[in-house]
Amino acid sequence: MQRAGPYGDAAKTHLEWSAISVWLMKTDGEQLEAVSLPVRVAHLSVILTREAEEHAAGWPRLSGAAVTPAIYGFSPDSQCEARRSAAQVRSIWEANGRPYLRPSDCKFAFQYLAACIRSGIIPPLPTMGDVEPSSPAKPAPPHILNMFKE
């Protein structure tokens, strides 16, 4: 996620919750029932928590201005319960080897950020040419072959 620059953490959050959402849609629900978590509760909890965590991480929206996540419209107890249920789903997802977290999704996230830059939603990310070169603390030692040039 180095290519994402300051949006690296937000991209990681987006990618992980996207993978969790796909896994949850494709799972049969037996693992959720084993921990007494109803499938509908798991789906809603993941949707609400994903939206809140992406918002908190600063994931940009192509549709424009950020929208307050729906989870904040619920009571604090309901918010805690939704986050707890989503954390349970996430731990089951991690125990299954973090499926549906693919390189193609990382590429799509980078393309999404590029589209946000082109749309003017976020500022351009600095590239190698935009960053000042760092001055070394001490000069590099002379190369062994340079002594033969004199």
* Statement: residue 114 has pLDDT above 80: yes
pLDDT tens sequence across 65-92? 778 999 999 999 999 999 999 999 999 9
Q: Work out the average pLDDT over 90-108.
A: 95
Long-range contacts of 83-87 (CB under 8 A, 24+ apart): 83/45, 83/49, 83/52, 85/37, 85/41, 85/42, 85/45, 86/42, 86/45, 86/46, 86/48, 86/49, 86/50, 87/49
pLDDT of 68 reads 92
* Statement: residue 59 has pLDDT above 80: yes
Beta carbons of 83 and 45 less than 8 angstroms apart: yes
* Statement: residue 104 has pLDDT above 90: yes
- DSSP for residue 14: H
